[in-house]
Amino acid sequence: MQELTQLKESPSQTAGPYVHIGCVPNFCDITGVYPEDLGARMVNAETKGERITVKGTIYDGTGTPLKDALVEIWQADAAGLYPGNDPRGAADPNFTGWGRKASDYDTGEWQFDTIRPGAVPFPDGRMMAPHISLLIVARGINIGLNTRMYFPDADNSADPLLTRIEHQNRVATLIAERETDGVYRFDIYLQGEKETVFLDV
Amino acid sequence: MSNGDLIQRDRLWHPPALTPDYKTSVARSPRHALLSLQNSDSELTGPTFGQNDIAEIDNDLILNYAKTGDPIGERIIVHGRVLDENARPVPNTLIEIWQANAGGRYRHKKDSYLAPIDPNFGGCGRTLTDDNGNYVFRTVKPGAYPWRNWVNNWRPAHIHFSVFGTAFAQRLITQMYFEGDPLIAKCPIVQSIPEQRAVDQLVAALDLNASLPLDSIAYKFDIVLRGRRSTFFENRPEGN
């Protein structure tokens, strides 16, 4: 038999407890190497769109907050375009689309100051409800966990992802809570009764 | 540019979420199945970085935290290529690394190992691959490091790698190990990977050809990210 010549993806390993050193060194007091941590700022004064804050805590299967997690988010701009390499067109040049934050050492809470994303199409042409993609890595997580955050004050009823979740009682795990005006809480449960829906993308 | 779907992740090749010998994974692994999601622009686009984002010295861990002199330890060069599963180079992509110093001590307030901090070593580096997917770092070889898993567990010498690619779904965090290290076979984190061939993919080879005589010894570590699918009979308006 002939061999398929494709390479195999490098296998994942945990980011470990000291992920901060490489990804957010200023956060862990390694200063003077990089001027600021990549992903720390997503918007500037010129960014178009409604300013929002997204924050949350990640809990393990015992209900204990993770204080050593790293969260990355990736989202469209206010018009629904992704910065960088979106084939549909150029996004807002004053928006990075990408943010990276560590959980607070004491409370486990992480926070992003960003804008509300516009809607993005699914490949079949249906529009997906506005959402933010998240990647979670930490000690004890062997391969990064992908999930999505949706907004409680948007129409999510026809979203192609949410509607195909077989266990519809789990859809709520992907919908943020509105805390105050423009502030959304998206707590993530790695395991247990309230386990967040994680994605194989 | 075309954003063809990515080749699906082979989750029999990657470590599963629950690997009880690596104890922390027990309470930090989902119990429900992952929901499979067809790729959309949300997964096929990703952050891009340019030369403005990083400095020339960022890939040199011997110099980027030096205060009074060079860090102590075995001077090494770590180099390689970032390719996709179709063996195409991944150019201009960001690689970040972090590691302990030569004694196995991390510059991190949660690390209380008794081996000392090196005043001239920070432990972080980053670089962009060139047009052919090549990258290079200069650093010191990290030491083995004890951790509270079993009573007497030691991590093999390792360097953590974070790689971006061009799609958010290509994002990968992994660890590089060193050829010949007898701790590799004993490590519950390494052994979270089911297949020995996959473990071997994370072991950098000693590369004397890239070593600098009387200066630094070299290791070669290639990284493979997910590739794009080409589906012959799929009706794609933008072509394959």
For residues B230 and B234, give the distance between their C-alpha atoms in angstroms, rounded to a whole number: 9
The shortest C-alpha distance from B216 to chain A (Å) reads 22
Query: Would you give the DSSP letter of residue A35?
Result: S
For the cut 50, the answer to whether the pLDDT of residue B2 exceeds it is no
The shortest C-alpha distance from A43 to chain B (Å) reads 14
Facing residue for A142 by CB, picked from B17, B40, B97: B17
Task: Please give the helix or strand (H or E) that residue A184 lies within, else none.
Answer: strand A183-185
* Contacts B238 to A, Cβ<8 Å: 87
Model ipTM over 0.90:
yes
Residue range B41-64, pLDDT digits in tens: 999 999 999 988 999 999 999 999
Residue range A6-53, pLDDT digits in tens: 999 999 999 999 999 999 999 999 999 999 999 999 999 999 999 999
Whole-prediction pTM value?
0.97
What average pLDDT does this structure show over B26-37? 98
Cα A106 to Cα A57, A69, A100, A160, B183: the distances in Å are: 11, 12, 18, 37, 33
Token couple for A177: 């809570």
Average pLDDT score over chain B: 95
Q: Are A101 and B23 in contact (CB under 8 A)?
A: no
Which residues of chain A register pLDDT less than 70?
Answer: none
Residue range B148-190, pLDDT digits in tens: 999 999 999 999 999 999 999 999 999 999 999 999 999 999 9
Residue range B70-127, pLDDT digits in tens: 999 999 999 999 999 999 999 999 999 999 999 999 999 999 999 999 999 999 999 9
Residue B235's pLDDT is what?
54
Which residues of B participate in catalysis according to the annotation? 106, 145, 155, 158, 160
Residue A3's pLDDT is what?
86
Residue B240's pLDDT is what?
44
* Contacts A85 to B, Cβ<8 Å: 1, 3, 45-46, 48, 166
pLDDT band at B233 (very low <50, low <70, confident <90, very high): low
Among A residues 3-32, those touching chain B with beta carbons less than 8 Å apart: 5-23, 25, 28-30, 32
Residues 6+ apart with CB under 8 A from A1: none
Residue B104's pLDDT is what?
98
Residue A5's pLDDT is what?
82
The shortest C-alpha distance from B117 to chain A (Å) reads 13
Residue A4's pLDDT is what?
84
Residue B238's pLDDT is what?
52
